[in-house]
DNA sequence: CGCGTGACCAGTT
DNA sequence: TAACTGGCCACGC
């Protein structure tokens, strides 16, 4: 990636695109990967900018306990859950089942 | 050019 | 053990 375009938002989008199908990650994990553990909430804001962008799997990004905190920002509140279920991820009561197993940590998978 | 705010997280009290 | 607070970057008004 180009350093010129190395902005926080752009990075968040970039990392989100790297999330494997059928896996999920958290805002904090992405923030940590970007060396800004305290900027997790801006990661969410960045995803908001990604809403509507089909090239960015925003539905694979949930909060630290696996809750679909951003479902309301999708076209339809249930769109996020359905998108996850289509990837084989079971969602119960707006929460990813076995989130701890499906969790994809960029700092671990991509390396630091 | 400055202030407020937004899909959160982790350490303290 | 539950609740509170601070922190962080970018964008809009």
What does the pLDDT read at residue A2?
47
Asked if the Cβ of residue A69 lies within 7 A of any atom of strand B, the reply is yes
Dihedral angle over CA of A47, A110, A21, A37, nearest 10? -30
Q: What is the mean pLDDT of each run of 10 residues along chain A (112 residues)?
A: 66 93 95 89 90 90 94 91 96 94 93 75
Say how many residues make up chain A: 112
What does the pLDDT read at residue A3?
47
Q: Which of A112, A108, A100 is nearest to A34 (CA)?
A: A112
What does the pLDDT read at residue A112?
72
Q: Is the CB of residue A45 less than 8 Å from the CB of residue A8?
A: no
What does the pLDDT read at residue A52?
80
Tell me the domains of chain A and their CATH numbers: 3-103 (1.10.10.10)
The model's pTM is 0.91
What does the pLDDT read at residue A4?
46
For nucleotide B11, give the residue with the nearest CA to its C1': A38
Name residues 29-58 of chain A with a Cβ under 7 Å from nucleic strand B. Answer: 31, 37-38, 40-48, 50-51, 58
Asked if the Cβ of residue A7 lies within 7 A of any atom of strand C, the reply is yes
């Amino acid at each position: 990636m180009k350093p010129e375009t190395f902005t926080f938002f752009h990075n968040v989008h970039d990392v989100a695109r790297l999330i494997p199908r059928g896996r999920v990650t958290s805002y904090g994990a992405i923030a940590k990967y970007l060396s800004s553990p305290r900027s997790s909430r801006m990661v969410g804001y960045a995803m908001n900018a990604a809403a509507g962008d089909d090239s960015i799997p925003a539905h694979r990004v949930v909060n630290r306990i696996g809750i679909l905190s951003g479902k309301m920002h999708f076209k339809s509140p249930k769109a996020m859950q359905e998108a996850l279920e289509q990837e084989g991820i079971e969602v119960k009561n707006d929460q990813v089942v076995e989130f701890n197993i499906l969790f994809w940590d960029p700092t671990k998978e991509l390396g630091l």
